[in-house]
Chain A
């Protein structure tokens, strides 16, 4: 891939806190390398702002290697920008060309209020996990690895669901601000394993109940979540979630 430098116009959402209204600010950045990551480009912009005596842009980031799910940015109308199966930190500037204008917004959902600028509050996801995304285990010595045989296809499917990093792109891209892809990944991950069996029914009803309480919308199967998920979590997990939920409901499990 040939290296090049570019000058860009950035329109970035600035908002002091959740209480006040925000607005877009326009910035120019020069000589951005095509080999930078998108977040490195933001670092350059922030240094520039600090030099100018302005307040740097607040944005969430942690691992910068596509595994923590922190780097929530809605870039030119797409969660995590134009590349599919990619987080913002893994998006590279070669996705853009000289002279481009890039619009960067925070995740938009009532359940994800803006904390500051591009950083949103995603603790609703933590509370959904607390409602049931765990298993009960007997503590003590580590068990023998083959104590619980698990069929390879189940293990694979469970593992694929477990790769969800809780980034919230599914909510951000869904017209209903639905968290069903996230929730379905968590439910499917545990429902497929014997370890998840004990709380199988209460887990799904409690997590769905918490999701509704947090103010996420309901799923109408548009598929936007799957298209935008950086971990390419399949909406077949939502199919499984629905089936788990209906079975739990039919067997009389109610949310507590």
Chain B
């Protein structure tokens, strides 16, 4: 769990960094669209990244299967429960809810892959070029329900990481007394900042904080000539 979890954390860093390029729009008109287009194209076409993607899916599946099995097995270790359960008196709710939070993330993930990954790869295979993902995001995030589900997914991820980040280091025996405080600080910071940046994406498109794809694409094209 710890190893696969840490790998997924590394993935989140890359994913978040790439997507956050769209916010460069707030510095210069056209800059975010261009930068994001370039990095998306690089990640989408580079053969090494294509191979890494297979590994990523393997790790995601491994993490999910392990996580669900672990949750079920551990639950079965107490056939008769308490009449008065300890509740939050001895541990935080999110540390006990990793299986639930993970399942919420999984539900979000299926929708998320269906929105972007699947259509893009399909077009790549059939037509040989990728989609304009800036445009697809704009279209996808027109609906309120989609924005709400994405924000809820990010909140689940945040709580999962608040515990998961430190927990992975503890499981691997690396959270020594000297570094425990630091690891926890970085973990909580990571758990707040990364999901917040992700959540800002659908919100920004929905509220029109980013320039419309059609206009900014035209602008970037004319600039290039």
Contacts and interface: CB of A to CB of B under 8 A. Distances in A.
Question: Size band of the B side of the interface?
Answer: 35 or more
B172 A175 contact: no
Given A220-B98, A221-B171, A108 B81 contact: yes
Given A224-B91, A235-B170, A239-B176, A175 B84 contact: no
Contacts of A239: 170, 173-176, 180
B224 interface: no
A236 B177 contact: yes
Nearest to A242: B173
Interface residues of A, number: 42
Contacts of B87: 77
A217 B73 contact: yes
A244 B70 CA distance: 22
Contacts of B79: 110
A238 B167 CA distance: 11
A108 B78 contact: yes
Contacts of B170: 221, 235, 238-239, 242
B90 interface: yes
B221 interface: no
B95 A220 contact: yes
A130 interface: no
Contacts of B74: 175-178, 217-218, 220
Contacts, number: 109
B70 A220 contact: yes
B47 interface: no
Contacts of B176: 236, 239
B96 A175 contact: yes
Contacts of B75: 176
Given A236-B177, A239-B175, A109 B78 contact: yes
Interface string B190-220: 0000000000000000000000000000000
Interface in A212-256: 215-224, 227-228, 235-236, 238-246
8 contacts: A77-B86, A105-B84, A110-B78, A176-B74, A217-B74, A222-B96, A238-B170, A239-B176
Interface of A: 11, 13, 24, 74, 76-79, 103, 105, 108-111, 173, 175-178, 215-224, 227-228, 235-236, 238-246
